[in-house]
Amino acid sequence: MTLAKKIVLLLMAAGMLLAVFLESVPAQSQEMKHDMSGMAMGAESPSTAGYKAAMDKMHADMMANAYSGNPDVDFVRGMIPHHQGAIDMAKVELANGKDPEIRKMAEAVIKAQEAEVKEMRAWLAAHQAD
């Protein structure tokens, strides 16, 4: 038996084991019900809510971009919301954070990312027809 055939057989066996395991997971999860209604769940902090909102917006904006097929244009279109997400998260830090070093870092992120977003928007405006 060749090495390639041995690898294929090993992968098939692993796949079957995985299928058996995955088949049993729903049954196990149904048996393990935990009542957490009596547990005190902390409210989401303002910073956590802010970070989640910034990340959700960034991901939505990145996914909303239509790909052009031009790798340069597509890269810039994706990076603009990515950089805006960094700006938004840095603003959450400034609104909620206390550490002077991290606040200074957040200010630097805002300054650098805003400049880069401006540069990318200008490049994109000049290259939309490419």
This prediction has a pTM of 0.64
Cβ atoms of 109 and 85 within 8 Å: the answer is no
Handedness of CA 61, 64, 70, 71 (dihedral sign): positive
Least confident of 40-44, 54-58, 123-127: 40-44
Classify burial at 86, counting beta carbons within 10 Å of its beta carbon; exposed 0-12, middle 13-18, buried 19 or more: buried
* Residue 66: predicted pLDDT: 86
Is the pLDDT at 129 greater than 70, yes or no?
A: no
> What is the SS3 assignment for 20-58?
HHHHHHHHHHHHCCCCCCCCCCCCCCHHHHHHHHHHHHH
